[in-house]
Structure 1
Amino acid sequence: MRTLPAVLAVIGLSALALTGCASGTTAASCPTPSSVGDAAGLIDVSGAVGSQPTVHIGTPFHTPDTSFKTIETGKGTPITADDQLVVLGITVVSGADGKVLGTTTYGDLSQVQPLSFWTKILPGIRDAVQCATPGTRVAVALPPKGVSADAGLALGPKDSSVAVIDVEKVYLTKADGADQYNAGFGLPVVVRTDSGRPGVIVPDGSAPSELVVQTLKKGAGAAVTGKDPVRIHSLEVTWDDKQVVNTTWGGEPESVDLSSVSPDLAKALKGATVGSELLVVVPAGKDGASGGDQKQAHIYVIDILGLDAAAAG
């Protein structure tokens, strides 16, 4: 049995389709795709969600199409995008003899990957996990093309298989909290695309001489305490030059330990809740600037997407 791998110029406003207050997708508004065929109905799964399941199928098991069935339904943030960060528990069983071909480590919430990591290995699971929420278990009947040849599983070119997927954790793709009123005279204005990617309109006046922290969106999730790393999307822009210094948007969100960032950014993040978006202005001469230029103020827009768990062991 094989162990499966665990494994900022200011944004050009003319290039953005801007929206003032896009809200996050909820499970209730996320329709699960329909599957083709009925082979999933022949799969019997037992065991608790979050632990390796026992899978029973009649062998030899073969299907020309991908089909799936939901065994347990969870709640919370749904999976809505290929680049969304998730923790999945996966067991793959051979259709030829019903033996387990590979499994992830269950219950290790430090094994965070974008969904695309798993759909490259098991392309047939993409529709099955769309709109799935934490605590969901799905059984998927996979045709031969449903598993990548690079997966390293002992499958023949004509072999079908079964994957049982437990959704253990799902991160937000963007801040989904309630919009907050802020008296922002003289401060940057934040604009966003539908995907949540921010842009910053920097005023021509002087930057603040003291640290500014504003909550633009207030999330309903857990609070950042510093005990666990926080997963964020961020944009950093210089005040005077109006140049992007750093951005995680377009790539993978960053895992941040409060002890490894500047005191100003740690102060801004501590106590904020998952789902929140923060506007932070670090004045000139402070150590919050990641670009190395402390002669001018730096502006941060930070979306808090989730809290990371410590690595197992």
Structure 2
Amino acid sequence: MRKTSAVLATLSLAVLTLTGCASAPSFAGDVCDRAAASTASVADSVTVEGDLGAAPDVTVYAPVKGDKTSFTDVVTGEGNTLTSTSQGMVLDIAFYGGESGDKLYESEFNGDPSRVHSISYWAERSAGLETVLECATGGSRIVAVLTPEDFGEANVEAFGLAKDENVVAIVDLQDVYLAHAEGASQFNDARGLPSVVRAPDGTPGVIVPDSDAPSEAVTETLIKGDGAKVEKDSTIVTNIMAVGWDDKTVTSSSWGAEPNIGPAAQELVGATVGSQLLVVVPEADGNPATAIVVDVLGIVPVPEQ
């Protein structure tokens, strides 16, 4: 394995394991209106008891019928809003047959906060979950009725369901991480460093100057978030983009992929959740100089013992 500088090694590993007035949350360009998209009568299909995050006691009033996937929030959380299919979140889910009311599948419901995935991850397993999760907020409990098509042909076959059988889903959305950096833009007067622009969804664009890269590592805070502070032993959720200084091309990026989760690099210790940092790593040990933009999206809680 080739040698790299400490910060580049840490940040690159994370990639590979992969201001103004506030605006209303949006998903795929449309302003979120969770209430308008939901169907309150879905809640009449079931009784759900128990605390959020604990395995629920569910009674399904079978048969449950529906010609389209629908949902309602029986508990509306006050956490972050899901505005991207690649945004990090922690959820538990249980599925029940619409004809029998029998439980088909139940996730861990063990309070483990390290099971961070995205809407895309869950939609690959059951396409209808994208509709169910769009614009949902952390801390919500969702009741949904999925059509067999949205539950997934492979799932219908695997669970031995009738081809026209609906499926009831109970989703506990325990936590939602930020989709991108959010906070106050910071003034930096250092010369000869890259500039960073951002798309509406927060995706950065890095403009590398024609001057030589600095001879020592440089870290700048571009956006200062108002969240918790990253400690040296923190496990953090980030988005990262790395751009080569010489060729000015993106060498790695986690944007649009599964959330990055890993230990905080030294250069990120002391940063606050919601911040965006620029880290410039000079050429060293045969590795070219690299500009790395990091969005600090959250700190993964330590599981209770």
Alignment of 1:109 onto 2:118: no
Answer with 53-62 or 37-46: which moved more. 37-46
Alignment of 1:305 onto 2:297: yes
**Residue ranges of structure 1 left out of the alignment (5+ in a row):** 1-19, 259-265, 286-291
**Number of matched pairs:** 279
Distance of aligned partners of 1:122 and 1:241 in 2 relative to their CA distance in 1, 3 Å threshold: closer
Counterpart of 2:233, as a letter, is K
CA RMSD, Structure 1 to Structure 2 (Å): 2.7
Q: Tell me the distance in 1 between the aligned counterparts of 2:238 and 2:122.
A: 21
Counterpart of 2:123, as a letter, is T
Answer with 131-140 or 175-184: which moved more. 175-184
| 1:199 paired residue number | 205
Q: Tell me the distance in 2 between the aligned counterparts of 1:197 and 1:281.
A: 18
Shift in Å at residue 148 of structure 1?
A: 0.9
Answer with 146-155 or 213-222: which moved more. 146-155
Shift in Å at residue 309 of structure 1?
A: 4.7
Equivalent position to 1:166, from 172, 177, 181: 172
SS at match of 2:37: coil
Distance of aligned partners of 1:39 and 1:150 in 2 relative to their CA distance in 1, 3 Å threshold: same
Matching of residues 266-281 of structure 1 within 5 Å: 266-281=265-280
Q: Tell me the distance in 2 between the aligned counterparts of 1:231 and 1:271.
A: 15
Shift in Å at residue 71 of structure 1?
A: 1.0
SS at match of 1:118: helix
Counterpart of 1:143, as a letter, is T
CA contact (8 A) 1:26 1:77 kept: no
SS at match of 2:240: strand
Relative to the length of structure 2, the TM-score reads 0.81
Q: Tell me the distance in 1 between the aligned counterparts of 2:150 and 2:41.
A: 16
Alignment of 1:134 onto 2:138: yes
Identity of aligned residues (%): 37
Distance of aligned partners of 1:164 and 1:184 in 2 relative to their CA distance in 1, 3 Å threshold: same
**Residue ranges of structure 2 left out of the alignment (5+ in a row):** 1-18
Shift in Å at residue 123 of structure 1?
A: 2.7
CA contact (8 A) 1:36 1:65 kept: no
Moved over 6 A (4+): 20-24
Shift in Å at residue 159 of structure 1?
A: 1.5
| 1:257 paired residue number | 263
Distance of aligned partners of 1:77 and 1:95 in 2 relative to their CA distance in 1, 3 Å threshold: same
